[in-house]
Chain A
Amino acid sequence: MGYKIKKGILYFLLILLAVTCLLPFLLMVVNSTRSGAEISTSFTFIPSHFLKENWEIMTGYFNLFVGMRNSVLVSVPATLLGAYFSALTAYALAMYKFHGNKVIFGAILVFMMIPGQLSLIGFYQLCTKLHLVNSYIPLILPAVASPGTVFFLRQYILSSLPPSLVEAARIDGAPEIYSFHKIVLPIISPAMATMGIMGFIGNWNSYPLPMIILNKNEKFTLPVMMATLRASLDMVRNQGATYLAVTISVIPILLVFCTFSKYIISSISAGAVKE
């Protein structure tokens, strides 16, 4: 009796917390169908019919889809480069004995600990010198060297790739890079997918760095574009359009999450357990 009631209370609290997580998004979606004047005077969960007007106001201010396209142009190559080269480096560190192997691994550990702000100023200066301001290269190319991903994949290779597989291929005369592509990559692809999805989300949401590197409106990624919006609008007139903009900006990442939530959760879990 007491057991069932207590359990019921626990479920109620858990659901309440879940509602707290969703409420802002729910309000966002509902408000994007209401007019600014409606939102400014009353609150409701019932959608109104101003979606079209809000859309027109929003598109008059900026084109979110250019931001989305730019974000894709940055995030997709960065994610693919990051996944491929991290796997290659992790394989080198896990499978070959060569001078410098330990030094590279040590540097990876150190740089996983170093906070990003230490490189920010030097990074910007480097980009200025190399004339890479307003280019996507400084947002994409550094993904080739992702210490965290290399660390994770190295541990994964050590625990799940039997060296005998690669040795057997050597006896058959297979070139090393061929073994990497045909034997190693398929085996570690679940781990690469996990890291790749997290990398994609990180790149997609990345904020201070793109803001520093990009200063032309037509180059802005989605988060930078959203940041320019703040506090610049007439609340009563534009509130509905504002919510619509946020709603649209959130949709792509929600789609990614719906498809890959299993991988995402497992990668956070793995991040904790690896320590």
Chain B
Amino acid sequence: MKKGKKLTAYNNWGYVFAAPFVIVFLIFSVYPVLRTLYLSFTDLKVMGDAHLVGFANYQRVFTDKFFWKALGNTVRIWGVNIVLQLGLAFLLMVVFSDIKYKMAGLPVFRVLYYLPNLIAATSVAFLFSTLLDWRYGTFNIMISQIYKLFGARYNPVDWLGSVSTAGNTIAVIQSWMWFGNSFIMLMAGVQGISRDYFEAAAIDGAGRWTIFGRITLPLLRPIMLYVAITSLIGGLQMFDLPYLMSNPASASYGSIQTVMMYLYKFGFTAGTIQTGYASAIAYALFLIILSASLIQLKIFNRKE
């Protein structure tokens, strides 16, 4: 009896130790999320009072053709990005987990492939906008010198400025930044699979592609799902690179404005601030991300 009481007394320390987290969490995480939700039902502009307007902002979001255009841009850039990023990571995983070739040097390659992911997006964006400048950028000059070697003439492409290339250029840079990260995750999954499975299968005489298809892939499914969902959540919120590498005055702007850039325009750009509307965009995007994640989850689970 005495012991039980004492244990409860010890357990009360849980409140004390968790208190700082709970207080800061309520103020800086929970409150802002709820506040944004509340604002999404109001007509708040920059200042002044907020009046409740029901679902008017949401109605406006879902009928706003610029919102849909921005969503389309986001999905298109993310689509190209994710195919390249996961495709490359997947290929690398296949190469490094192959039991016939037994490729060496994984620690070194892993570090090199991960490197671009470390650099702040602002530095990456600035580096690439300079390298890709169509008149003076090193990238075009490099290509034109290679063309010259073969006696051909290169007509410089405005990678970030023209509608046909801007989105894909950003998608490629985004993949360049993130494929190493996906690769490390997939590789961690492969290394987490018990050696016994492979050995047992090898004893049974299974070929390496059978082993890959029957053991590696199915056991990797949870990790692939995790990578796919996190990249979807991150991808639909894409902001840094397109925002920093685009120029509202250039022709390509309309083709690379993402949902987050559109939100930023109404949330934080002086002159166009409509806080209520921006909040509704945030929640509309959240609903879209949520349903897309659920659909992804369903598709993955059905295969089982």
A residues neighboring B (CB under 8 Å) = 3, 6-7, 10-11, 14, 17-18, 20-22, 24-25, 27-28, 31, 39-43, 85-86, 88-89, 91-93, 95-98, 100-101, 104, 107, 111, 113-126, 138, 141-142, 144-145, 147, 150, 170, 176-177, 180, 201, 204-205, 207-208, 212, 222-224, 226-227, 229-231, 235-236, 239, 242-243, 245-246, 249-250, 253-254, 257, 261, 264-265, 268-273, 275
Contact = CB atoms under 8 A, between A and B. Distances in A.
B92 to A, nearest CB: 8
Given A122-B33, A145-B25, A226 B126 contact: yes
A7 B237 CA distance: 40
A115 B21 contact: no
Contact of A126 (B22, B31, B185): B31
Interface in B253-271: 260, 263-264, 267-268
B120 A226 contact: yes
Interface string B32-46: 111111010000000
B135 interface: yes
B136 A118 contact: no
A227 B122 contact: yes
Interface of B is mostly: helix
A170 B7 CA distance: 11
Contact of B125 (A91, A115, A150, A230): A230
B66 interface: no
A227 B286 contact: no
A196 B138 CA distance: 37
B70 interface: no
A239 B28 contact: no
Contact of A249 (B120, B222, B227, B264): B120
B120 A265 contact: no
Contact of B233 (A95, A115, A144, A170): A115
B17 A91 contact: yes
B180 A21 contact: yes
Interface of A is mostly: helix
A273 B126 contact: no
A272 B113 contact: no
A42 B18 contact: no
Contacts of A98: 11-12, 14-15, 18
B130 interface: yes
Nearest to B125: A230
Interface size bucket, B side? Answer: 35 or more
Interface in B105-159: 105, 109-116, 118-123, 125-131, 133, 135-136, 138, 141-142, 145
B283 interface: yes
B240 interface: yes
A186 to B, nearest CB: 17
B72 to A, nearest CB: 18
A21 B112 contact: yes
A244 B194 CA distance: 48
A223 B244 CA distance: 11
B282 interface: yes
Contacts of B203: none
Contacts of B226: 272, 275
Nearest to A126: B32
A95 to B, nearest CB: 8
Interface string B202-244: 0000000000000000000011011100000100110110001
Nearest to B136: A40
A27 B138 contact: yes
A42 B142 CA distance: 8
B134 to A, nearest CB: 10
A14 B267 contact: no
A26 B268 CA distance: 36
B165 interface: no
A208 B239 contact: yes
B223 A273 contact: yes
